[in-house]
Every structure is written in C-alpha cells, then in structure tokens.
Amino acid sequence: MNAPLITPDLVRLDVDFGGQPSEVIGHLAKLMAAAGRATDAAEVAAAATAREEKAGTGVNGRVAIPHCRVAAVNEPTLAFARLSAPVDFSGPDGDAELVFLIAAPESGGKAHLKILSKLARALVRGDFVETLRAATTEQEIVDAVLEVVNAEPKKKKATPAAPAASAEKKPEVIRIAAVTSCATGIAHTYMAADALTQAAQKRDNVELIVEPQGSSGGDPLEQSFIDSADAVIFAHDVAVRDKGRFAGKPVVDTPVKRGVNSPDALIDEAIAAAKDPNAKRVEATSESAGEDSAAASDGQPWPKRLQQAIMTGVSYMVPFVAAGGLLLALGFLIGGYDMANAWEALVLQHSPTNLPGHEVLVDGTAMTFERSGWALYLGAVLFATGQMGMNFVVAALSGYIGYGLAGRPGIAPGFIGGAISVMVGAGFIGGLVTGLLAGVIAYWIQTWRVPRWLGSLMPVVIIPLLTSLVVGLIMFLLLGRPLESLMLGLTDWLESMSGSSAILLGIIIGLMMCFDLGGPVNKAAYLFGTAGLSAGTDASFEIMAAVMIAGMVPPIALSIATFLRKQLFTPAEQENGKSAWLLGLSFVSEGAIPFAAADPFRVIPAMMLGGATAGAVSMGLGVGCQAPHGGIFVIFAYEPWWGMFIALAAGVAVATVAVIAIKQFWPNEEIQKAAAATVAA
C-alpha cells in the first residue's frame, strides 16, 4: 500500500450526515474523492449503497462498516465518521454512531476483505470502540485505526502432539476447539472468533483455539489439538468445512451471532457437553461422503437444502444440454432438417471414404435427402453426437441433485434413477423426483453407525448399492407409471397449446425470467425450458425460445435507457450500461442486477413488462430454439430466425419505454442527488 489506509482528511467527528445509510455513504465517498483516493464519488457511493441494500453492514457496538470494490477507487481506502445523529444500518443493537466506509480498487483482490476482518475483530474489543468514541481529534482516530489494521496477526501457539497433550494437560483444564463462520465470511466470523477467544482467556480452566472460516482466511486447527479437545463449538450460519475432522466430539452447534453476543454462555455449554456422556456429538457424515461432500450442510433447513440441491442439479445438467443442443442445431444447419429422419443410418452405414449421396437406403427403404456427401454425413455425425449428449440430460439432473444432498454417494443412485425415469417415460419430472429420492436416502444411510471395518465400504459400495436398489424399486413399483402419466399429460397440454393459451404461457415465462434476474424464480423458468429440450418436441423448442428471448431483454433495455436518458441513472449505472447490452445479447440476465439492486421498485416491474411482451410475441409467432444458451449468437438454432428478432425488439422497446417513464414520473431522490452532485462537480 503506497499511502496510509486512512488519514486525518478522511475522518469527520460529530457530524450530521443525514438520516439514511445512502446519505452517510455519499458524504464519506466525497471525502475519498476530495483526498484524491477516488476519481468519482458518486460511483463509489452507488457501489457501496448497492452492497448495503443487499444486507445491512451494522455490527455490534452501534458500528457500521459499509464496503465496496469499484473501478473509481485508486487504492484501498478507509473513511470514518462519528455521527451526532445515528443512522440505521440494520445493526443488532440499534442505530450506528460510528461508520467506516471501506473502498478498494476493482482489481484489489481480497484487500478490502482483510481490512474488514481486522476491523471486525478489533470492534469486539471494548477499548478500541471506546477510543473511537472518546477521540477529540482526527489524528487520534487515524492512530487507533492504523494500529489495529496494520498489526501483524498473532501467531497461533504451537500445540503438542495428541499423546503429549493428554499427558501434560491438567485434569481441570477443558480443551475446546471452535469454528466460526457467517454467510458473508467477513464481520461476524471474526467477531465471534475473537469474542470466544477473549472469553476463554479470562478462565484458568479453559484452553480454546478458534478456526475462523471466513473470506480473508484463517489458520486451520491442527488435528492434534482437535484430537485432544474435550468439546467443540460450531458458531456458524453456513456449513462447517471438513466437519469430519471433529467426528465423535461433544458439540455445541449454534448460530454465529451467539458467538458474538454470548461467548461465555457457549463456553459453559461446551464444558457441560464435555462432561455429559449423552451429549450431542459430531457425526461422521461428511467423512463417509468424501471430502467434497455437499451433504455437510447441517444446520440449514431442509427446504433450503432441497432448493440448493435442485439448483446444483440444474447447474451440472446445463453443460450436457448446451453441448448436446448446440450440436443438434449445428447438425441441422450443415446436414439439413431431413437428415434427422435417418441420422443413425447415415452415421453407421457411411464414413469419410463412403460418403452418402442424395438417396440412401434406410432399413430397406430408399430415402431422398436435400443434401449429400460431406454436408449430409458431417451433419449426421454432429447430430448423433448431440443426441448422445441429450440422452444424459435427465440422468445428469437426477445424479447431481443426489450429489447436492448426499455428496459423492448420491451420484450413482441419482444417475441410475434418472436413466430409469427416461426408460419409463417420466422425463425430467421423474429425474427431479429420483434425484431427490437418491439424495435423501443416501444422506440417511450415511447417518447409520457402522463398525469401522464396514465404514470404508460405505461411500463406494454400500450406500450406492442400497440407495440404487430402493430408488429402482420405488420407481418401477410405485412412481413410474404415475410420473409417466403426468409427463404425458404435460406434453399433450404443451403440444395442444395455440393462440391465446400459448401467448399466456409466454407471458408467464417472461414474467418469471425478469422477476429476480438469475434468482430462484428465473432459474425455475430456465429449468422448465432446458429440461424440456430432451423431449425434442416443437412445444419444448418454443418454450426454450421464449425463455431465452425474455431473459435477453433486461440488460439490453437498461443499456439503451442509460444512453437515451442519462440523467435518470447514477454514474455507476451509466458505466454499467455501456456493457450491459452485450451481456443481454449473450443471454446473461444478471447484467441487469446492478440496476435492479439500486432501484428495484422501478426497474423490476418495467423489466417484467418487457419480458412478458417478448415471451408473448415469441410464443405467438411460434419461434423455436434448439439451443439452451447463447442468446443472439446461436441465431442458427432459432426457427424462424426473424421471429426471434421481432420478439426481442418488442420486449426491449416496451421495457425501455417503461423504465424511462417510471423513473421520469416517479423519480428516485437518491439518484437525482447523485446526478446533481456529478453535474456540480
């Protein structure tokens, strides 16, 4: 770092910076710009405010630490304000009186996270916070902050090997191994770690070492200390990594905030657990599943875990759909659409030295094709390769849902269940069901207590075998026929849609794609489109087209709007608008997220209106798409291609007009202030 992180001109004491977090952040951003640390105060303020709106940065002690990474910042910088009028930053104990704004360059890596973690750890110390409150000059603040931020991390005391530890340890001393983690891995992770450490240091009968699993890293606990520990504390909001290291230890499992607010109570509970032979113990679930197990999500509610598992299945399925779908489309492009009527015979009966002509004998019947020679043969090869990829789509969806719930032992039963779903005609709905069944059953079997000699066989033999057996029996004996009927009914309904019913479906798809721009609702619509591609029907291609075209609308519309009416958008949004159009053309709906996060009540309804228009026009024109991704760059996969352009243009036009109108007639005061400040500067 070339310049100090904070200087007196970046500090303000006992000031009124307004009543909203965005106002406080705006004033601190101006301090950075005035000190030459940032080229655009409005851009810094917009980025930090957008981050603040996602989750408040208030922490214990009536302190707030808003932060951002943005291109307008030259080097990691910290601005501070002690407020005379406290402001609500969603802190746990009231409005914030002390506010730090941390800004780092976009290319600054984890610099701002390290600053955050050091500040968070210091804020646990009452003396540091009191120093900030009692300071009479800006220089006192600077000295106090630099002392904690620039301090070298204390090296963890070396722990002896387990046998020596047990020999040397006094009978009355309780050893506690602790892990802390929070959703962002920044503030509460390290605050809880230091709160527990300080509480333990006040006791002569407790030896406690914490492993903070946060964004800026932390020393892992040595296995020798874990082995000699009498109890474990898990203060966490996300899954504990490598949980199997603690298998068999008495455990206190609690949210991370208790680690910050009630460290003494947690230590008392850990001591009680160490002395209780019936105390809850860490299960060896993640060890049985393997190190990359996704089953280590204990502590999360089951609905959330099921949702995450389905999203895991979708994310792993998409490459199969993408590769297979694009190869099918290329096969049509090169070999002609009639090639699909005999692709298997064209591939197996011919070769580069025996190219097919216009007329080919297929199962004793002569068939005539529009193309011949290399074009027909290569098209058939591409189509055959894509078809093999598409054959794995349902199995991949099912297999990786199983993986999302149970780790590696859930993969094989999930794939087998998916293959059974295809065999019985249950399609992707069956794949969803078998994936969830495989994951839940495999996860349950992992909890069985088995002899050590059998434990090594569990993840690679016993669990896949038993789970596959159960899933197969359930599908063949109970669920296969009902799911087949459900899938046939859905297919018949989609095939029968025309006119107003097809347009209504297009509207629903467009609304879903633009509601949360890459969130669960968007992903549900995308799953509906991509999973249906494996059916290969005209209806499934039309749904995929509506999904893709509607998803392209928001970034393109917002990009155009920033060019047409700059004054309605912040400088940061104007900058985002310069590249958002390309993201939109590539079908990356997330390109609109910065706009929606900064102004959701104006942007999201306008984008939903445009998406609904695009979906309706696409379905009304009968546009089909055989590729699951790529946007405008897979134009050869659309049929008719001109219909795609009409639907996209209609959706973009409606969304652009709507967002400009809403922002014009229902102005955003924060954006107006930012724009006015930019003009004044």
Taking only the tens place, the pLDDT of each residue in 66-92 is 888 788 888 888 899 999 999 988 776
8-31 average pLDDT score: 91
**In this structure, is the dihedral angle defined by the CA atoms of residues 393, 399, 403 and 408, taken in order, positive or negative?**
negative
**Same domain, yes or no, for 41 and 94?**
yes
558 pLDDT band, cuts 50/70/90, is: very high
210 belongs to a structural domain:
yes
Sort 372 into a burial class: Cβ within 10 Å, 0-12 / 13-18 / 19+. Answer: middle
Instruction: Evaluate whether 51 touches 67 at the Cβ level (below 8 Å).
Output: yes
CA distances from 634 to 133, 170, 337, 612, 646 (A): 60, 71, 17, 22, 16
Residue where a domain stops, chosen among 481, 508, 540 = 481
Using the CB atoms, write b or e for 245-281: b if 16+ within 10 Å: bbeebbbbebbbbbbbbbbeebbebbbebbeeeebee
Q: What confidence tens digit (pLDDT) does each residue in 471-511 have?
A: 999 999 999 889 888 877 766 665 566 566 888 889 999 99
**Same domain, yes or no, for 456 and 530?**
no
**Same domain, yes or no, for 30 and 137?**
yes
216/44 Cα distance (integer angstroms)? 22
Angle at which helices 520-532 and 302-335 pack, to 10 degrees? 40
State which H helix or E strand residue 434 sits in. Answer: helix 427-446
Residue where a domain stops, chosen among 282, 313, 333 = 282
**Same domain, yes or no, for 128 and 87?**
yes
CATH number for the domain including 244?
Answer: 3.40.50.2300
Residue 158 has pLDDT above 50, yes or no: no
How many Cβ atoms sit within 10 Å of the Cβ of residue 76? Answer: 22
Tell me what the pLDDT averaged over the chain comes to.
81
CA distances from 324 to 347, 386, 479, 576 (A): 17, 4, 28, 33
**Same domain, yes or no, for 462 and 548?**
no
Domains held by the chain: number: 4
pLDDT for position 321: 73
Residue 436 has pLDDT above 90, yes or no: yes
Residues 6+ apart with CB under 8 A from 478: none
CA distances from 122 to 146, 298, 319, 359, 578 (A): 11, 30, 45, 80, 40
**Same domain, yes or no, for 82 and 38?**
yes
225/649 Cα distance (integer angstroms)? 64
110 pLDDT band, cuts 50/70/90, is: low
419 belongs to a structural domain:
yes
**Same domain, yes or no, for 143 and 179?**
no
Active-site residues: which are they? Answer: 67, 182
How many Cβ atoms sit within 10 Å of the Cβ of residue 127? Answer: 8
pLDDT for position 332: 79
556 belongs to a structural domain:
yes
In this structure, what is the dihedral angle of CA atoms 523, 529, 530, 535, given to the nearest 10 degrees? 150
45/79 Cα distance (integer angstroms)? 12
- Of 94-108, 293-307, 624-638, the poorest mean pLDDT is in 293-307
pLDDT for position 448: 86
Task: Tell me the residue range of the domain where 571 lies.
Answer: 500-680
- Of 157-166, 219-228, 340-349, 548-557, the poorest mean pLDDT is in 157-166
What 8-state DSSP symbol labels residue 150?
S
**Same domain, yes or no, for 139 and 22?**
yes
User: Of all residues in the chain, what percent carry a pLDDT higher than 90?
Assistant: 26
What is the Cα 213 distance to its own chain's centre?
18
Residue 188 has pLDDT above 80, yes or no: no
Q: What confidence tens digit (pLDDT) does each residue in 196-220 have?
A: 888 888 888 899 999 988 655 567 8
Q: What confidence tens digit (pLDDT) does each residue in 347-399 have?
A: 999 999 999 988 888 877 888 888 889 999 999 999 899 888 878 888 998 99
Tokens of 283: 């299960």
Residue 671 has pLDDT above 80, yes or no: no
**Same domain, yes or no, for 375 and 435?**
yes
Residue 122 has pLDDT above 90, yes or no: no
What is the Cα 591 distance to its own chain's centre?
15
**Same domain, yes or no, for 560 and 651?**
yes
241-266 average pLDDT score: 84
DSSP 281-292: B--SHHHHH-TT
DSSP 64-85: E--EEE-TTBSS-EEEEEEEEE
CATH number for the domain including 59?
Answer: 3.40.930.10
Residue in the structure block whose two tokens are 């297009």 = 506
Radius of gyration for the alpha carbons in the chain, expressed in angstroms and rounded = 30
**Same domain, yes or no, for 202 and 245?**
yes
Q: What angle do CA 274, 280, 281 make, to 5 degrees?
A: 80
Show the beta-strand stretches assigned E in 340-465: 359-362, 365-368
Q: Which residue has the higher pLDDT, 375 or 53?
A: 375
**Same domain, yes or no, for 383 and 320?**
yes
Residue where a domain stops, chosen among 134, 150, 166 = 150
432/555 Cα distance (integer angstroms)? 31
519 belongs to a structural domain:
yes
First to last CA, the chain: 28
492 belongs to a structural domain:
no
408 pLDDT band, cuts 50/70/90, is: confident
